[in-house]
Amino acid sequence: MPASTGTRALMILAAAGVVLMASACGAGSGPTQTVTVTASPGPTSATEPETRTYTSSPLPVSSSPGIDPKGLHPLAGGPIPDAAFELEVLHDQDGAPRSALQTPSGNIYCEFGRLAHGCGVKSYKAEEQYGSTEQGPRWWFDLSEGTRPAIDAAGEPASDLYREHPPQVLEYGQAAYIGDDVCAAEEDGLACWNARTGHGVFMSRGGYQTF
């Protein structure tokens, strides 16, 4: 006896669901996607709730082009705050000037000088939270160009190489600057940006956001 129209629709949808589930399970080592299809004997409908499972380290957090940096920190992306103090200018062993700061925990470090110009999160490096390149773990944000930065590998921070010139500690609630570079610290993270272009990054132990 021929199957009814509703029965044939259910059979087709059931077969499609098997194919979709097989495709999701057969994906390689990258993200896997599970698609659930539901149907009724009458008009059919499909919902596709997406579930992604990553087996590697967390992917870098990136912001949309139109993000408001003040949602990350009330001062981020703006001019040099009136209450900000100017960082001390130090000199490396070769005489090159530089300024450096770190958060009270010591986990986030920034250096502004000839050899390095940006900020890094030491726990990203130690835990390889955002993967590695041939140069090492990704943990550093280059702020030298005043453009929206990207996380990358970098060498040892100068604070570890030149112990006689320790970085200044930027206490929570404080802001500091050198040239156009500004940093503001809060307990939930450190925001650093270029006061001329407004680009920068907000960093914390749990993740980061560029703007």
Q: Is 193 found in the same domain as 96?
A: yes
Compare 102 and 95 and report the one with higher pLDDT. 102
Domain tally for the chain? 2
Q: Tens digits of per-residue pLDDT, 1-58?
A: 444 444 444 344 344 443 333 333 344 434 333 333 333 444 444 444 443 332 333 3
The gap from C-alpha 17 to its chain's centroid, in whole angstroms, comes to 36
Give 146's pLDDT tier (boundaries 50, 70, 90).
very high
User: Is 62 part of any domain?
Assistant: no
Q: How far apart are alpha carbons 162 and 93 in whole angstroms?
A: 8
Asked whether the predicted pLDDT for residue 151 surpasses 70, the reply is yes
pTM metric for this prediction: 0.68
| Structural domain boundaries, residue 9 | 5-53
**Nearest Cα to Cα of residue 31 among 58, 4, 61:** 58
Q: Is 206 found in the same domain as 160?
A: yes
As a whole number, mean pLDDT of residues 82-92 equals 92
Strand 168-169 to 97-102 pairing:
parallel
Q: Is 175 found in the same domain as 73?
A: yes
Q: Is 81 found in the same domain as 47?
A: no
User: Is 59 part of any domain?
Assistant: no
Q: Is 104 found in the same domain as 43?
A: no
Half-sphere exposure of 174 (CA within 13 A, CB side): 14
Query: What is residue 72's predicted lDDT score, i.e. its pLDDT?
Result: 87
Q: Is 198 found in the same domain as 103?
A: yes
Asked whether the predicted pLDDT for residue 100 surpasses 80, the reply is yes
Contact 81, 184 (CB under 8 A): yes
Query: What is residue 166's predicted lDDT score, i.e. its pLDDT?
Result: 83
Q: How far apart are alpha carbons 115 and 154 in whole angstroms?
A: 11
- Residue 210, Cβ neighbours under 10 Å: how many? 22
User: Is 185 part of any domain?
Assistant: yes
Give 132's pLDDT tier (boundaries 50, 70, 90).
very high
Contacts of 96 (CB under 8 A, 6+ apart): 113, 114, 115
Contact 107, 123 (CB under 8 A): yes
Query: What is residue 14's predicted lDDT score, i.e. its pLDDT?
Result: 43
